[in-house]
Amino acid sequence: MPPSPPLRVVQWATGAVGRYSLRTLIRRPEFELAGVLVYDPDKVGLDAGPLVGLPETGVLCTDDVERILALDADCVLHMPLPASSFGGDPSLDVETFCALLSSGKNVVTTTGFVYPWCYGPAVVGRIEAACAAGNSSLHGTGINPGFVSDMLPLALSGLSTRIDHVYVRESSDFRGHPSRQLVVDLFGFTRSAKDYAAAVRPFRAYQRGLFAESVQLVASTLGVALDEVEESDEFDLASEEFEIAAGVVRKGTVCASRWTFSGLVRGRPFMTVECVYKADATKVDRWSAPGFTVHIEGVPQMTVTVDEISHGLAGAAAHAVNSVAALCAAPPGIRTILDLPLPTGRGTVRLA
């Protein structure tokens, strides 16, 4: 039986996550790089290979959306920073999805949309109509949400006879993250307490929507109707000056934050997601050490802990890339983790 032709995939955005994704697409033989959409004018016209330290591919980066829409491609890996995270119009991402889907391309995105029903029937209707027009599918994924706060708790729930509370914790270390746009502008690290409160206001709204999706997905799958999803956040100030890849954290400026999202039923939390972000975990003692934890309170009680992942952004990119083949084979429409086979690292193993 002849091997299947490689899937033609477009890389949309080449930021911190997108570069990991692009490098994987170029290296894996089951994929053919069809195009690359960039936002940085300095990248336009560059070959995609050297952009990520690999040999030339013959595929040049473009900022022309119409050119991407006109390409013959099976899937688009959509990995920009979400429009809403900086206070932009959240409908812009939906418009992008719908244009790509209508053009006949499946879309895997890391901007959320793991459970688009949170945004109401109008948004879902637009996406489903675009999927029908292009015979295509949309899938939102990542490492958290996309795996830790949704796929992993649901997998563990198969061992339960009773579930009282689902608790998920992420703790991330940003000392090696080079993007000032993300570390400073989005997370607010290195800012004064006063500037932080104003700077993260759009991010707060984005985070609330993002993790509400994850909590609602788990609750709905387990047959639980939530009354609301409650959000709270706090921050910590540096006790000394230290340097990270994105800049200098001065004494008295924000060096960490903790976000909590709770899905409530009659005032009691059914599921809680805690996210801790640290500018440098070696300099911030408050809150938990880097890693992931899932705890299910019930019968039986279960706790699964994942020690710090050395390249968390690579994990987010890999989960998206590893979903491409299953999404391309799926029926048209919105596809959550419940609709696709478990993404695995098939094709990534390298033996010495």
The answer to the question of residue 245 being in a domain is yes
Answer yes or no: do 131 and 201 share one domain. no
Burial (CB count <10 Å: 0-12, 13-18, 19+), residue 2 = exposed
Chain-wide mean pLDDT for the chain? 93
Write down how long the chain is.
352
- Read off the CATH number of the domain in which 329 is found: 3.40.50.720
Answer yes or no: do 80 and 207 share one domain. no
Tokens of 345: 């690292």
The answer to the question of residue 344 being in a domain is no
Answer yes or no: do 95 and 109 share one domain. yes
Q: Which domain holds residue 54?
A: 7-142+314-334
pLDDT at 205: 86
The answer to the question of residue 46 being in a domain is yes
d(CA 304, CA 92): 37
β-pairing verdict for 61-62 and 75-78: unpaired
Instruction: State the pLDDT confidence band at 302, using cuts at 50, 70 and 90.
Output: very high
Q: Provide the b/e sequence for 325-342 (b: ≥16 CB within 10 Å).
A: bbbbebebebbbbeebee
Answer yes or no: do 81 and 207 share one domain. no
The pLDDT of residue 2 is above 70: no
The answer to the question of residue 346 being in a domain is no
Do residues 275 and 256 lie in contact, with contact meaning Cβ atoms separated by under 8 Å? Answer: no
pLDDT at 329: 97
Please write the tens of the pLDDT for every residue from 239-271. 999 999 999 999 999 999 999 999 999 999 999
**Mean pLDDT along residues 228-246:** 95
Instruction: State the pLDDT confidence band at 314, using cuts at 50, 70 and 90.
Output: confident
The pLDDT of residue 307 is above 90: no
pLDDT at 312: 78
pLDDT at 31: 97
- For the chain, the domain total comes to 2
Answer yes or no: do 67 and 192 share one domain. no
Answer yes or no: do 104 and 183 share one domain. no
Answer yes or no: do 288 and 190 share one domain. yes
pLDDT at 1: 55
Least confident of 26-35, 174-183, 271-280: 174-183
The answer to the question of residue 349 being in a domain is no
Please write the tens of the pLDDT for every residue from 149-186. 999 999 999 999 999 999 999 999 999 888 888 899 88
Answer yes or no: do 163 and 293 share one domain. yes
d(CA 53, CA 37): 18
Which residue(s) pair with 10 in the sheet?
35, 76
Instruction: State the pLDDT confidence band at 350, using cuts at 50, 70 and 90.
Output: low
Answer yes or no: do 88 and 160 share one domain. no
Looking at the whole model, is its pTM more than 0.85? yes
